[in-house]
Structure 1
Amino acid sequence: MSTSEKRATNQTNPAAAVQTGAELLVKNLESQGVEYVFGIPGAKIDKLFDTLVDSKIKTILCRHEQNAAFIAAGIGRMTGKAGVCIGTSGPGCSNLVTGLATATSEGDPVVALGGATTVANRLKRVHQAMDTVSIFKPVTKYSAEVNSSEAISEVVADAFRAAESGRPGASFISLPMDIMAAEAKGEVLTPVKPEALGAADDHEMGEAAARINKAQNPVVLLGMLASQPETAEAIHLFLRKTGLPVVNTYQAAGAVSHDLFDQFGGRVGLFHNQPGDRLLDASDLVITVGYDPIEYDAVLWNRGRKGNVIHIDVVRPDADKNYKPAVELIGNIKAILGRLTSLVEVTERQGNSAILSEIAMERGVFSERAKMLNGTPIHPMRIVHELQGIMSDDITLCLDMGSFHIWLARYLYSFRSRQVLITNGQQTMGVGLPWAIAASLVRPSEKVISISGDGGFMFSSMELETAVRLKCNLVHIVWMDGHYDMVRFQQIAKYGRDAAVEFGPVDVVGIAKACGAHGMMIHRPEEIAPTLKKALALEGPVVVGIPVDYRDNHNLMEMMHPGVLN
């Protein structure tokens, strides 16, 4: 039956006009401003999918629930508003777990809706019965089941508030099929807004300013929440006034503007061997902004440091022997930085200037060395160098997880908040392409590039068909070497050999064409820029394969100077 026929039936049949639980749920989603939902239907959640047909919300059918959660998380990261994904009961819900765990680790707001058996059958061993609320509690900020039609609006409102407030993350709602189909008389309680926080305590602000004014070698360490656009603007004002050196974690990519590049020590993460680590090691005070230790373990950069960390965030840090700030400024980060900027003094400090000069020189060495790497397969440095040349401000870059991720996270620069999406919380493989689909929906006027290894590509390559169906203008680059190389080079460093990391070749061009996308291969370094420019000019999804030379990857664990490779 068509949508118009359903509406006509409702007008002539009073019984059909009764509001169902699914209809009340959808009204709450519409009121919250939800534009898309991503998922896969099933018998226990089909009433919700049927109701969405008559709504203003666009339903996007995906090929795997995990990818639906990834796409929703990408929407959340780029907009600040929770993306929504749906899975049916049993495995439809359990397939969402990795996506929601990743979203909570990365600070991305998501609300997941899961089908469930009838309330009467919840404790029985029946088809697809599963205690999903308990499964999701460890990986979400909020997990609850709607056990009455009167609770629908309340649970939805609480889920969105939890997902978007404080340090954002995932919420999960279990929806028994009988409650979705039954009559519901509740009221719509959305839209809800995130918790509104103010600046930190005035006394704490004064103490923090005094410590900054007194320090000889203070350094700013930016974390994932620092890359929120409104927060980044406040950071820029603070850095311009103080002139302090700044480093950031991978997830904070783009938080430092181009005019502050001379103060930027680079990105840090995974291994304590980067130029930014030299700044942190030499500092007598570290000011962390929006930082969570899941991004870069404090034991790697802060071991033994006592009483000289200022923590600026929306939540207090967990107790940690390696991360015990002397001052904690908790509240709205933008408001805190605005107040702190007015309190700090402009002081000439020379302690870190020599390190910053060395870092600037090393960037030049890296660039010159990269230009000379003309061999095949292609060295990662050359690929990074070529990508930097085409990374205009109107391109969004989404990175999957793998060896390539380290090269790009360290050496590809971005100066726009959330222009580059990077994972490092759970280091989840497969996120790149789904995030690119999200970017093409959120930023339709921009071009989108996503990158994965040939291992990670196969975790979500089925969504190429989804991208084709949605006419997404994206270019997905696959770095190909036939190994799970990020695991491989660490195994060799530990044990002198690798284990279970080699797989067979995959025809990425063939996969692309089979899904209706364009496919291209790059064989030589000089082909990189022209091929990518051609791919970016095409309509619809494009997959580009690049054979890569990972012989220097062991240096990622060892080297401090990026221009010096064996």
Structure 2
Amino acid sequence: MSTKKNGSEALFNSMINQGVKYVFGLPGAKVDKLFDLMEHSDNPKAPKLIITHHEQNAAFIASGIGRLTGKPGVVATTSGPGVSNLATGLITATSEGDPVVALGGQVPRNDIARLTHQSIPSKELMISATKDSVEVQDPNNLSETFANAYQTAMAPKSGATFISLPKDVLDSEVTVPEIKELSPIKQGSANSEIVDQIIDKIKNAKLPVILAGMRSSSEEVTEAIHHLLHKFSIPVVETFQGAGVISRDLEKNYYGRVGLFRNQIGDAILKESDLVLAVGYDPVEYEARIWNVDRQGEVINLDSIAPEISNEYQPDLVVQADIAKTMRDIAHNLPADISLSDDMKSHLHQMQLSFLSQDEVPAEDPKKGVHPLAIIKELQDQVDDDTTVTVDVGSLYIWMARHFRSYKPRHLLFSNGMQTLGVALPWAIAAALERPEKPIVSVSGDGGFLFSGQELETAVRLNLNIVQLIWNDGYYDMVKFQEEAKYGRNAGVDIGTVDFAKYAESFGATGMHATTNAELKDALKKAFATPGPVVIDIPVDYSDNSKFVSALLEEY
């Protein structure tokens, strides 16, 4: 005889069956039974409930889990504003390919159409923010709904899914068993005829270039790209979300990152290439209307999903298949003696010398603050290849994307689809949970940090070893320097000053100031040796930001 269970218990068991490790969110009356089960379960496989200070940040942490692991992070909230506060986090996850399952409480079914307390059309609200948004009407459907949401979130292109959970559905009896662990989603390689076509194009190209996009950043695809490069050494340009695809031993193949302003070495080499192999590339990262203009070469689009076709992006060959398997087949079938011409190798070497010279730290001027290149150098000197660095949006993320090196995929995280402020600290919390033995660094501007800075208490409560750098200048500077470039003045960007070291201490974290290069070097050493979260407040010198929009592609 089976034991009776209600909808909350069926949903809880379903999360266990799918191996969910954490659930992030805020409590409320519509989901209190589900939270009670997670908080007090003695099942060692039960997901750990982690309470945050805002639903948006809970969604960010869940999306960080999704990006790091490839499996959906889970966020749960109560009804009404608990659900609506998820919107930005879920839109960001869906845009940037991060799998998330969001659970939102809802009023009882007979109140959904009434103007009652916290009654909103949750399912309809989330349709535009997710891959799929549903509302459960029968408690016996809870487990299969969760399983389908979980699978949909993972399926290419990964993203967020949303389940609206009426209170009476969670309270009602369930009479069917839960869905068991799902089988992995598998794709096959491109067929041999297509692989031969790709190889012919590569053999006939003078300068084939790999554009490594967001879906190239899985471990399997990255290893396949490495396998090809060991056989045929060609340039690789990373998108921001493709950061880390190039390993340290293949650094000679690294030609920068593209994702904002068409004036980098990566832009120059894409323009010059007569064959771009776009691997896992998504236009939300860097629109083709920016990098694929005035080009004469061909484009091969290799991805697990079909590309979005536009006037600026009409690939000559579209291959929808398992990326890693197809890349390995290409590498295996390339001629053993394939190589770029000596003239091309010499040309590329000169481009790289120019590229490397851009990392030089200018002379220090303590009156202005610490230069971004000095911050990056001191950080680069302190981290290793296993360090996860999460980067917020703002002027700092342009500097970090252009100059900070990372040699493992999904160890340098950017938001470049939605450019969403406030992601760095929540993502760092996700990284500290998933990689507890590895160093974790969060890099934010003062404006971006204040979007989610309250989660510093969450990091303190969980005793997470996170080093948080704050580039502090008192402005929304990414807007400021662009306004000044366009209009000769700025407007609406002054956000005042905050002492972030004191802010950190008020949450129980360690706070530090670093006003010179030497102080920053010392602060970083101390921070990495200090248990728990550490915040370093750095006055930043953004006087060179004007070069972002004034430098011309031809200079490279």
Bucket of the pairwise TM-score, normalised by the shorter protein: over 0.9
Q: 1:80 and 1:307, CA in 2 relative to 1: closer, same or farther beyond 3 A? A: same
CA contact (8 A) 1:520 1:545 kept: yes
Say if 1:204 and 1:328, in contact at 8 Å, map to a contact too: no
Alpha-carbon RMSD across the aligned residues, in angstroms, is 1.8
CA contact (8 A) 1:85 1:112 kept: yes
Q: Which residue of 2 aligns with 1:372?
A: 363
Q: Does 1:261 align with 2:262?
A: no
1:41 aligns with 2:27: yes
Contact map agreement 1:400 1:456 (CA 8 A) in 2: yes
Secondary structure of the corresponding residue to residue 545 of structure 1: strand
Q: CA deviation at 1:444?
A: 0.6
**Hey, what does 2:36 align to over in structure 1?**
50
Q: Secondary structure at the match of 2:94?
A: helix
TM superposition shift of 1:561: 8.1
1:189 aligns with 2:175: no
Residue 492 of structure 1 is aligned with which of 464, 484, 497? 484
1:71 to 40, 61, 70: 61
More deviation in 428-437 or 486-495?
486-495
Whichever residue aligns with residue 26 of structure 1, its letter is: F
Contact 1:474 1:542 in 2 (8 A): yes
Residue 61, structure 1, aligned to residue 41, structure 2: no
Change (3 A) 1:371 1:497: closer
Tell me the equivalent position of 1:169: 159
Residue 185 and residue 477 in structure 1: after superposition, are their counterparts in 2 closer, same or farther (change >3 A)?
A: same
Contact 1:116 1:129 in 2 (8 A): yes
The residue type equivalent to 2:130 in the other structure is: T
1:519 aligns with 2:511: yes
**What residue in structure 1 maps to residue 430 of structure 2?**
438
Paired position in structure 1 for 2:270: 280
- Give the Å deviation of 1:363: 4.4
Aligned to 1:361, which of 353, 356, 369? Answer: 353
How far apart are 1:124 and its partner, in Å? 1.4
Flag structure 1 segments of 5+ consecutive residues without an equivalent: 1-13
CA distance in structure 1 between the aligned counterparts of 2:21 and 2:237, rounded to whole angstroms: 36
Corresponding residue for residue 340 of structure 2: 349
| In structure 2, distance between residues paired with 1:137 and 1:194 | 25
1:106 aligns with 2:96: yes
The answer on 1:531 being equivalent to 2:529 is no
The one-letter amino acid paired with 1:38 is: F
Deviations 1:63-85 (A, max 9, x none): 00000011111111111111100
Corresponding residue for residue 304 of structure 2: 314
Aligned to 2:288: 298
The correspondence of residues 435-514 of structure 1 with structure 2, limited to 5 A, is 435-514=427-506
Q: Distance in 2 between matches of 1:306 and 1:202?
A: 27
Structure 1 vs Structure 2: percent identity of aligned residues? 44
Determine if contact 1:279/1:355 at 8 Å carries over to the other structure.
no
Shift of residue 562, structure 1, vs aligned partner: 12
Q: Does 1:180 align with 2:166?
A: no
Pair 123,214 (structure 1): closer, same or farther in 2 beyond 3 Å: same
Residue 273 of structure 1: SS of its match in structure 2?
Answer: coil
Report what 1:9 is aligned to: none
- Using a 3 Å threshold, how does the CA distance of structure 1 residues 187 and 241 change in structure 2: closer, same or farther? same
Q: Is 1:20 paired with 2:2?
A: no
Q: Does 1:399 align with 2:391?
A: yes
Runs of 4+ in 1 over 3 A off after TM superposition: 304-307, 371-376, 560-564
Deviation per CA, 1:116-154: give whole Å up to 9, x if none.
011111111111111111111112112111110121111
**Cα 1:231/1:384, change in 2 over 3 Å:** same
Question: Which residue in the other structure is 2:220 paired with?
Answer: 230
For structure 2, the 5+ residue unaligned runs are none
Kept in 1, the 8 Å contact 2:268–2:553? The answer is no
Residue in 2 that maps onto 1:29: 15
Distance 1:193 1:75 in 2: 20
Q: What letter corresponds to residue 179 of structure 2 in structure 1? A: L
Structure-2 change in CA distance of 1:46 and 1:352 (3 Å): farther
CA distance in structure 2 between the partners assigned to 1:382 and 1:344 by the alignment: 42
| Pairwise CA distance, 1:396 | 1.0
Is the contact between residue 150 and residue 186 of structure 1 (CA under 8 Å) also seen in structure 2? yes
Alpha-carbon separation, structure 1, partners of 2:372 and 2:522: 17
Whichever residue aligns with residue 408 of structure 1, its letter is M
Taking the TM superposition and a 5 Å limit, the aligned residue runs for 1:198-237 are 198-237=188-227
Equivalent residue letter for 1:186: V
Once the two structures are overlaid, the 10-residue window that deviates more, 532-541 or 185-194, is 185-194
Distance 1:322 1:427 in 2: 22
Query: Which letter does structure 2 place at the counterpart of 1:372?
Result: A
Q: Which moved more, 1:482-491 or 1:352-361?
A: 352-361
Task: Please report how far the alpha carbon of residue 303 of structure 1 lies from its aligned counterpart in structure 2 after TM superposition.
Answer: 2.0
Where 1:144 maps in the other structure, the secondary structure is: strand
Instruction: Measure the CA separation in 2 of the matches of 1:371 and 1:490.
Output: 22
AA matched with 2:499 = D
Report the Cα offset of residue 325 of structure 1: 0.8
Tell me, in whole angstroms, the C-alpha distance in 2 between the residues paired with 1:280 and 1:460: 36
Q: How many residues align?
A: 549
Which shows bigger deviation, 141-150 or 457-466?
A: 141-150
Q: Name the aligned partner's letter for residue 365 of structure 1.
A: S
Cα contact 1:122–1:129 (8 A) shared by 2: yes
Q: Is the CA contact 1:219–1:283 (under 8 Å) kept in the aligned structure 2?
A: yes
SS at 1:44's partner residue? helix
C-alpha distance in 2, partners of 1:236/1:157? 34
- TM-score, scaled relative to structure 2: 0.96
Q: How far did 1:555 drift? A: 0.6
The question of whether the paired residues in 2 share the 8 Å contact of 1:75 and 1:81 is answered with yes
1:329 maps to 2:319: yes
2-structure distance, mates of 1:467, 1:152? 32
Distance 1:299 1:423 in 2: 20
Question: What letter is aligned with 2:4?
Answer: V
Contact 1:142–1:159 (8 Å) recurs in 2: yes
194-203 or 463-472, larger mean C-alpha shift = 194-203
Counterpart amino acid of residue 32 in structure 1: Q
SS at match of 2:117: coil
Change (3 A) 1:306 1:192: farther
Q: Secondary structure at the match of 1:103?
A: helix
Give 1:450 deviation, angstroms.
Answer: 0.2
Amino acid at match of 2:364: L
SS at match of 1:191: coil
CA shift for structure 1 position 195: 2.3
Deviation of the 1:97 alpha carbon: 0.8
Partner of 2:421: 429
Deviates more, 1:20-29 or 1:209-218: 209-218
